Chains A and B, each alone.
Chain A
Amino acid sequence: MASDPDAALMLAFQNGDERAFRTLFERHGRAMVGFCHHYVKDGARAEELAQDVFLKVHRSAARYQPTARFRTWLYRIAANHCLNELRRGEYGARREAAAREGGSAPVDLDSLPGGAATPEQAAVGEALAGAVRELLARLPEKQRTAFVLCRLEGLSYEEIAEVLETSVSAVKSLLHRATVAAAEALAPWSAPDGKEARQ
Chain B
Amino acid sequence: MSFYFAQFLTGLASASSLFLVACGLSLIFGVTRIVNFAHGSFYMLGAYLAYTLVQYVPGSIVGFWGSVIAAALVVGLIGAIIEVVMLRRIYNAPELYQLVATFGIVLIVQDAVLWIFGAEDKLGPRAPGLDGIVRIFGEPIPQYDLLLVALGPAVLGALWLLLNRTRWGVLVRAATLDREMVASLGVNQSWLFTTVFFLGSFLAGLGGALQVPRVSINLLMDLSIIAEAFVVVVIGGMGSIPGAFVAALLIGELNAFGVLVLPQATIVLAFVVMAVVLVIRPYGLFGKQETAAHAAGQVEAPIRPASPLKRTIALALLALLLVLPFLMGEFALVLATDILIFALFAASLHFIMGNSGMVSFGHAAYFALGCYGAAFLVKYFGGSMEMALVAGPLFAGLGALVFGWFCVRLSGVYMAMLTLAAAQIVWSTAFQWQELTGGDDGLLGIWPSDWARSKTAFYYLSLALCGGGILLLRRMIFSPFGYALRGGRDNPNRTESIGIDLRAQQWAAFVIAGVFAGIAGGVYVFSKGSIFPDEAAIPRSVDALVMVLLGGVQTLSGPIVGAGVFRLLEDEISRLDYWRAILGGIIVGIVIIAPEGIAGFIKRIAVKAGLEREGETAA
B is a partner of A? no
Binding site for A on B (CB under 8 A): none
Instruction: Spell out A's residues near B (CB within 8 Å).
Output: none
